[in-house]
Amino acid sequence: MSVDSYDVVVVGGGSGGLGAAISASRLGCKVLLLEKANELGGTAVHAGVNCWEPGVGGTGVPFEIYRRLVSVHQAVGIYSFGRHGCWSAPQGQPRYPGGEALQDPARSYADTLRRFGAGAFRHSEAFIRKHWHGVVFEPDAYIKVVNEMLAEARCAVLVNTAFRHAEIRNDRVVCLELNDGRVVHGKLFIDSTGDACLAKACGCRVILGQDSFADYAERDAPATRSCQLNGVSLLFRVRVRNVRRVDSLPDDVPATCWWSDHFPNMSVFQYPNSDLSLNMLPTMKGNEAIELGPDRAYHECLRRTRAQWHHCQMTFPEFQQYHIVWTAPTLGVRESHRIVGRYVLTEHDLLAGLSDQVHDDIIAIADHAMDTHGGPDSRCGELSQPYGIPYRCLLPEGITNLIVACRGASFSSIAASSCRLSRTMFCLGQAAGSAAALALQQNVDPSEVDIVQLRDLLGRQHIQLHWPIEEDIRSHIGTT
């Protein structure tokens, strides 16, 4: 049996895990990054979510990745909004079946760093066209870049590798037994699995589903706890072809919608090479996906994407010049288990914003809407200003050498619907990796790290912690 020892073991190679592994490695830690899939990237690759939506706080490692992708032909681009189903359509034309995001060479990365202030979506077309811009990237180029960054930082990486047991001693993770029989010891561990898998294995308290009003007195919480989860999506990619036609519908797929008489809206993102990514909002309710199980849920979502695509081609003839060239191999999951940490981020934080939050340990900021996709039950509550995420949200109770940096961190269900996006996860990961390095340098547990030093260290990594954006970060980003 092989036994290896590391300063920091990061479990999960999605956005949070990448941010954590790169940050801790650059700060001199001996780091191992574990990923159960055959390559890194998480949802951004395996689920086809090849975009970063508009939002504050998207600096640090994400900008470094973007800057490297710019040098690769047709690897990355900035988008602006084109048509939208909530806006007026040209006379004689149907409303677009969702939101259209088109490549906009006139825009820079700095233009992607704001979402807040739109208010009611259908009444904010001018604001959204001016302020909402995001990033679309090619997944193969993205993976190549992050692997290069990890190699440069001397981070050890194991793919196709999961842990099957965590040994706990005196409220500390001692080691992980891997699925290949190896044992990995670590001084500190970071859970970036999305579903808080390591935290669950360690016996940390976790929750799943909607919190009740009694839990946190959130304005928009239901009266009683609910098993409802944010919806899942199965993304697919289409490309222009030489002929125009409506693709035949598989025999087992009905042409009607599965929820009501209306198909869900979809996000349509244009890649730099002019392919389109289609994201149904959503393809399936989150709790339905759990009840069906991974294989049956994926099969049903595949049927639904074909029904949606047939509807698009029949209703909007422009789609008849496209055909499906790729479907994501995994579902895009928006919500899963969340830990109950030393602080729970709630709707109160989101509504208070930076101007009224009193935390001194904010290590990332965000401004995405409180955004739930549940088919007919979907809703979107835009924010009036950015809010901060405290470091304590990454610290589970009970295990002293574990940090959680993923959508499974300590958020209420409502708060998680806002801060779950990729670039925010990157920032949580950078904070976790930096905190781990400081803890090892100071020979203290992660909860005892000096917050002033941590925030100063994140600032030197160009992590945005304030609004308006600091001048040194603006200068770092420039007009790229």
Domains of the chain: 3-48+141-225+336-477 (3.50.50.60), 236-327 (no CATH)
Cα–Cα distances in angstroms (integers) from residue 218 to residues 214, 225, 273, 341, 372, in the given order: 8, 12, 44, 18, 15
Output the pTM of the full model.
0.97
Cα–Cα distance for residue pair 375/475, rounded to 1 Å: 42
CA distance 25 to 205: 29
Smallest CA-to-CA distance from 18 within 49, 44, 51, 54 is with: 44
Task: Tell me how far apart the alpha carbons of residues 240 and 208 are, in angstroms, rounded to a whole number.
Answer: 41
Tell me the helix, strand and coil percentages in the chain, rounded to 5: 35, 25, 40
Q: Which residues pair with 345 in a beta bridge?
A: 411
pLDDT value of residue 361: 98
- Quick one: pLDDT at residue 375? 65
Q: How far apart are CA 20 and CA 27, in angstroms?
A: 11
Q: By C-alpha distance, which of 474, 454, 453, 315 is closest to 394?
A: 454
Q: How far apart are the first and last CA of the chain?
A: 49
Sign of CA dihedral 409, 413, 419, 420: positive
| Predicted local distance difference test score (pLDDT) of residue 8 | 98
Tell me if residue 321 falls in helix, strand or coil: helix
Quote the distance between the C-alpha of residue 430 and its chain's center: 14
Task: Kindly state the tokens that stand for 472.
Answer: 């040194």
Distance, CA of 264 to CA of 257 (rounded, Å): 8
pLDDT tens, the chain, 480 aa long:
566 999 999 999 999 999 999 999 999 999 999 999 999 999 999 999 999 999 999 999 999 999 999 999 999 999 999 999 888 877 777 788 899 999 999 999 999 999 999 886 556 899 999 999 999 999 999 999 999 999 999 999 999 999 999 999 999 999 999 999 999 999 999 999 989 999 999 999 999 999 999 999 999 999 999 999 999 999 999 999 999 999 999 998 988 888 777 888 899 999 999 999 999 999 999 999 999 999 999 999 999 999 999 999 998 999 999 999 999 999 999 999 999 999 999 999 999 999 999 999 999 999 999 999 876 667 789 999 999 999 999 999 999 999 999 999 999 999 999 999 999 999 999 999 999 999 999 999 999 999 999 999 999 999 999 999 988 898 999 867
